[in-house]
Structure 1
Amino acid sequence: MNFNISKPNTALAEQLQHKIDLKTKPIGSLGILEKLALKIGCIQNTLSPELKQPTIMVFAADHGIALDGVSPYPQEVTWQMVANYVNGGAAINVFGRQNGINISIIDAGVNFDFEKNSGVINAKVDYGTKSYLNESAMTSEQFHTAIKRGADLCDQKHREGSNIIGFGEMGIGNTSSGAILLHILAGVDLKECVGRGTGWDDEGLKKKYEILKKAVTNYRGDNSVENILSYFGGFEIVMIVGAMLKAAELEMVIMVDGFIISSALLAASKINSNILEYCIFTHKSNENGHKHMLQHLKAEPILDLGMRLGEGTGVAVAYPIIESAVNFLNQMASFEDAGVSNSDQI
């Protein structure tokens, strides 16, 4: 939990803005691309930023609460979807291939044993969490193991040359954890936090809310981030918290996906708020609580496509836009280079 995260150096901010403003375009006419270029330039402390080996790490784990009826899908879907990722058949694989992003699949705590040569990275803490309806999802030791394993996996990607990273997740029942984290850590009414997840109808949504309301009522712990994450989190969520904190410590650009990933970031930001300076919010999820998550984090997402799949798909779809921000900064001519009269000369 001890991560040394400094705010990005803004010494070049004025020069970066000047470089952006002198491109052959009206000032501000590239909108959010200009904000992204400035942010990435400050993170990398350079006037010519580069995006190296873009990576999405998809963490998968099972949740004990799924057995209490919070999802219309059975728990086995978690490992079956992981197999689909490995076989290259999921949306995240399609968008990753399309946009040149490396996809890594991590077993953080799936209730299944994958073959050693399956391509799944084995970081399993346990075969799923316990149900937090009446007890803590994980022990303190398991929590710290998950934080460390997430951090170590991110560090490895950085050592392999990646400087921009996103995270995805898979775990039947994990929108329930995300909803409770939003409720407790951001103080949003639980009803506003609970969404349809993998596809509940109105009756199912009501049932999910009642189960989660009971779980929150039964909680007897304090409001420390560690205890809340240990009690209500999933191994994949906690591992992502560790990976995100490490990414910020390593001054990597962090691409933030939808509801579950934002719930991990919400928790991470309560541990060290400087992490937010490294984050690009790729999209607004259609999962009900995500708008509240974004408001609490004061985040401006790039896209709003009505997506709520998870897996890191929002990151993969938004990446070319982030790439466009860096490319215009590095490759677009200035007024002087192009011999074009700028408004200052008229």
Structure 2
Amino acid sequence: MGLSRIVLSPFSALYKVVTDVRNFLYDQGRRHSTLFTVPVINVGNLTVGGTGKSPMIEYLGAMLSESYQVAILSRGYGRRTKGFRLAGEGDDATTLGDEPYQFYQKAGDNVTVAVGEERALAIPSILLERPETNVILLDDAFQHRAVVPHFNILLSDYNRPFYKDMVLPAGRLRESRYGARRAHAVIVTKCPGSLDEKAMELVKAQIEKYTRAGTPVFFTTISYGQPISLYGHTSPARGENVVAFSGIARSEPFINYLAKTYALSDHMDFPDHHAYSESDLERIKARFMAHGATSEQTSLVTTEKDAARLRSLGAKHPLSGLPVSYIPIRPVFLRDEEVFRSMVFDAVSKELGR
């Protein structure tokens, strides 16, 4: 254990007591939780950021919208608005938050997207505005005990598994590892694509120390798509020179992918959900100009979440005339995808059939 963890461990112990008491009160019914008749599926984690919630929400939204009327509900972190808001044509990352705006941009009319800090109040608002809705996807609400999910999905980053972490502030856990007992399924995300069965079983054995008996554990990796141009320029081809920037919780997988796929000259790392200022964009532009910007084979590359923020800046800003592309991602199951899909559909159909 490092010195910083030793120093912070008493504060972590106090934080753990507070969250344990809170969970106990909910478990005992001393704090009110609402169970809605419409099926509610939650995707969340035990740690602070970076486990791949957004790609999994998009995966579930696309999967379920083939059979149901789906609504995605997020808190809307980083937005400048307050309260409940249903996504519409006049919205952007400043009114919805970058991730909900990304959901809205990708899903279009196939999925309703809404934001609201108080999910127990926002869900009735969704049903009032869109009464045809028959499935709710909750984004990052594992600790939001005021709503009882019908199916609770816990994500854990393969590179930073919750069972090796500590409670804040010494670690990154929002609550005790035993919060995993609330999960109906655990998904280990960002796995190496070559992860073998033996390695999966070792990870699964560690997770099962903290989950209820019989809770299934699934494994996914990240699939990176072809780069998409933001402003009409040609996107970079494999092996071409790129300058990258990103404001996400963990940029390492993104940067590792770029380094293997392109000639990565530089990377500027910003905090998660970073709202790019004019000076930030000027700095990015300056770094781009310093790395072969005169070549037609040099591009700026960023993440899909960062692209959502850039779209909110309008048509004129320091990067709008440059060849900026973003790379979409999606989760790919390494095994048992059909088992997972069946579990989700069974949970939904069970509630709708009551």
How does the TM-score come out when normalised to structure 2? 0.28
Question: Larger relative CO (CA 8 A, sep 6+): 1 or 2?
Answer: 1
The structure that is strand-richer by fraction is 2
The structure that is helix-richer by fraction is 1
